[in-house]
Amino acid sequence: MTSGTRIVLAARPHGEPKDSDFRFEEVPLREPQDGEVSLQTLYLSLDPYMRGRMSAAKSYAPPVEVGDTMVGATVSRVIESTVDRFSPGDVVLGYGGWQTHSVEPAKQLRLLDPTVNPPSTALGVLGMPGFTAYSGLLTIGDPKPGETVVVAAAAGPVGSAVGQIAKIKGARAVGIAGGPEKVAYLVDELGFDAAIDHRADNFAEQLAAATTDGIDVYFENVGGTVFDEVFKRMNTYGRIPVCGLVANYNLTALPEGPDRSGQLMGNILTRSLTVRGFIQTEFAAEQTPRFLEEASGWVADGSLKYREDITDGLENTPEAFRGLLKGRNFGKALVRVAD
CATH assignment of the domain containing 175:
3.40.50.720
Would you say residue 2 has pLDDT above 90?
no
Residue 241 has a pLDDT of 97
Mark whether 236 and 269 lie in a shared domain: yes
- 290 inside domain: no
Give pLDDT tens digits for 90-119.
999 999 999 999 999 999 999 999 999 999
Would you say residue 294 has pLDDT above 80?
yes
Among the candidates 277, 292, 325, a domain finishes at 277
The residue segments making up the domain with residue 25 are 3-124+307-336
Distance CA 333, CA 317 (A): 10
Would you say residue 22 has pLDDT above 60?
yes
- Read off the pLDDT band of 260 (50, 70, 90): confident
Would you say residue 253 has pLDDT above 80?
no
Mark whether 114 and 231 lie in a shared domain: no
Mark whether 311 and 272 lie in a shared domain: no
Share of the chain above pLDDT 90, in %: 88
Would you say residue 256 has pLDDT above 80?
no
CA-atom Rg of the chain in angstroms: 21
Distance CA 9, CA 16 (A): 14
- 250 inside domain: yes
Mean of the per-residue pLDDT values for the chain?
A: 94
- 138 inside domain: yes
Mean pLDDT, residues 125-140: 97
Mark whether 110 and 166 lie in a shared domain: no
Sign of torsion over alpha carbons 298, 304, 309, 315: negative
> CATH number for the domain including 99?
3.90.180.10
- 147 inside domain: yes
Domains in the chain, number: 2
Give pLDDT tens digits for 262-293.
888 999 999 999 999 999 999 999 999 999 99
Contacts of 248 (CB under 8 A, 6+ apart): 223, 224
Would you say residue 142 has pLDDT above 70?
yes
Mark whether 142 and 117 lie in a shared domain: no
Distance CA 141, CA 241 (A): 6
Nearest to 75 by CA among 29, 140, 31, 121: 121
| Best mean pLDDT range from 65-79, 221-235, 245-259 | 65-79
- 282 inside domain: no
Residue 248 has a pLDDT of 59
- Read off the pLDDT band of 327 (50, 70, 90): confident
Pairing of strands 3-9, 91-94: unpaired
Among the candidates 258, 277, 296, a domain finishes at 277
Mean pLDDT, residues 233-240: 98
- 241 inside domain: yes
Mark whether 155 and 211 lie in a shared domain: yes
Q: Which residue has the higher pLDDT, 77 or 262?
A: 77
- Taking a C-beta distance cutoff of 8 angstroms, is the pair 172, 149 a contact? yes
Residue 1 has a pLDDT of 67
Count of beta carbons in the 10 Å neighbourhood of residue 187: 14
- 298 inside domain: no
Residue 264 has a pLDDT of 87
Distance CA 291, CA 135 (A): 8
Mark whether 271 and 168 lie in a shared domain: yes
Distance CA 92, CA 110 (A): 5
Phi, psi angles (nearest 5°) of residue 276 = -135, 110
Among the candidates 256, 277, 298, a domain finishes at 277
Mark whether 168 and 270 lie in a shared domain: yes
Give pLDDT tens digits for 153-194.
999 999 999 999 999 999 999 999 999 999 999 999 999 999
Mean pLDDT, residues 48-70: 92
Mark whether 77 and 149 lie in a shared domain: no
Residue 244 has a pLDDT of 85
Residue 58 has a pLDDT of 84
Distance CA 314, CA 197 (A): 32
Mark whether 234 and 322 lie in a shared domain: no
- 186 inside domain: yes
Mark whether 170 and 262 lie in a shared domain: yes
